[in-house]
Structure 1
Amino acid sequence: MVIQDEVWLLTLTGISVVALAFIYVIAQAGKSADSAQVQKRAHAIRRWWLLALVLLGVGVAYATLSPFPIANQRVQAPAAQIVNVIGRQWNWELSQSQVRAGTPVEFNVTSADVNHGFAIYGPGDRIVTQTQAMPGFSNRLLHTFTEPGKYRVMCLEYCGLAHHGMVTEFEVVAADKGAQP
């Protein structure tokens, strides 16, 4: 099992234990010898609210984490285009300067020296996607470009004095034109 899955299961187990503790405390609080009908109703309402909040929390966690945006690093990607990226103080080295629009691109991102933030900005200067570039580790970033044009790669992690100049460009061409390395 991958460590990420283990952490996820451990977190869910911890949340369940806390929820059960709350339910136990609520159940024990209603067992006083002098409880009236109003107190029983209040405790019942609290229990339902707790149950609703727990279900809401589980639902929100599942809805936000099930479409997890990070590609599984241990599985072969379905990408038809592969771009190897190396971050160095203070430049990016891309194995291709062109990719095709409409076809998945796998960026294998690593660093030769320090941590860098690999960010791709679209033609409108909005961030399209990003990942971390770390020495000794390769992150796989999968993305399908839909719009042809010039895309910029910039560093999002302060990596030294010339960090601001760590910029390179590549081109996304229409699917029918094809890409050349």
Structure 2
Amino acid sequence: MVSTVYAITLVVMALIAAVFCFVLVNSKKVETDYSTVTKKWYGIRGKWFFFLLTLGVIITYLSLSPFPIPDQKKGYQENEYQVVKVDSYQWYWTMTPNTVEAGKPVTFLVTSGDVNHGFGIYDENLELLGQTQAMPGYTNKLIHTFDKPGKYKILCLEYCGVAHHAMITELTVK
């Protein structure tokens, strides 16, 4: 089977190469005077560049301004935060502490000891409340305020190996 696929691939590649060679050999150099077009477009080129740059900035602003990223400071004082250190490994989480208070902002400091993981916080209805990446050698910060007490699930959102589906832990909010 592999040798058949290999042979078909070689034949198709040879045909494509033959078409390119045929076009190259049979093409003729056309003498055309482009000086009038060149002169005109050199004058327009600078204006066109600034028009496209301005358009790009406007489109970027309009598309990213309503982006649903919560403000990561929100006027909280540093001592108002509860800090949870989260380390991820194949295929488990360690959180210190694993209990927080409702109504107070929680700063999750998320990192990984091996491969990339996706850190997702889910409520009891399995609705995603917040997420960030867990990356080796880098600590991401996620700030979230839990409105009500309960058990919240932490799931991995990025495939990290054979036991990825079992990479679940719980956070208790009192």
Short-chain TM bin: 0.5 to 0.7
Against the structure 1 CA distance between its residues 68 and 170, is the aligned structure 2 distance closer, same or farther, given a 3 Å change threshold? closer
TM-aligned CA deviation for residue 71 of structure 1: 3.8
Residue 145 of structure 1 aligns with which residue?
146
Please tell me whether the aligned partners of residues 19 and 54 of structure 1 are also in contact (alpha carbons under 8 angstroms): no
Q: Secondary structure at the match of 2:170?
A: strand
Q: Secondary structure at the match of 1:137?
A: coil
Deviations for 1:92-144, whole angstroms, at most 9, x for unmatched residues? 00001211111000000000000000001011111110000000000010001
Against the structure 1 CA distance between its residues 57 and 130, is the aligned structure 2 distance closer, same or farther, given a 3 Å change threshold? same
Residue 63 of structure 1 aligns with which residue?
65
Identity %: 45
Q: Alignment RMSD, CA only?
A: 3.0
Supply the AA of the counterpart residue of 1:157.
E
Supply the AA of the counterpart residue of 1:166.
M
Q: Secondary structure at the match of 1:132?
A: strand
Residue 134 of structure 1 aligns with which residue?
135
Q: Secondary structure at the match of 2:83?
A: strand
Supply the AA of the counterpart residue of 1:163.
H
**Distance in 1 separating the partners of 2:53 and 2:151:** 55
Residue 92 of structure 1 aligns with which residue?
93
Q: Secondary structure at the match of 1:64?
A: coil
Give the greater-gyration-radius structure (CA): 2
Supply the AA of the counterpart residue of 2:62.
V
Residue 125 of structure 2 aligns with which residue?
124
**Distance in 2 separating the partners of 1:143 and 1:154:** 16
Where in structure 2 are there 5+ consecutive unaligned residues?
1-46
**Distance in 2 separating the partners of 1:123 and 1:172:** 12
**Distance in 2 separating the partners of 1:131 and 1:62:** 18
Please tell me whether the aligned partners of residues 77 and 106 of structure 1 are also in contact (alpha carbons under 8 angstroms): no
**Distance in 1 separating the partners of 2:119 and 2:140:** 10
Where in structure 1 are there 5+ consecutive unaligned residues?
1-15, 24-52, 174-181
**Distance in 2 separating the partners of 1:22 and 1:158:** 38
**Distance in 2 separating the partners of 1:151 and 1:165:** 16
Against the structure 1 CA distance between its residues 22 and 155, is the aligned structure 2 distance closer, same or farther, given a 3 Å change threshold? closer
**Distance in 1 separating the partners of 2:135 and 2:53:** 42
Q: Secondary structure at the match of 2:66?
A: helix
**Distance in 1 separating the partners of 2:100 and 2:173:** 5
1:38-53 alignment, distance < 5 Å: none
Deviations for 1:3-57, whole angstroms, at most 9, x for unmatched residues? xxxxxxxxxxxxx97452599xxxxxxxxxxxxxxxxxxxxxxxxxxxxx88963
Please tell me whether the aligned partners of residues 97 and 171 of structure 1 are also in contact (alpha carbons under 8 angstroms): yes
Supply the AA of the counterpart residue of 1:117.
G
Number of aligned residues: 125
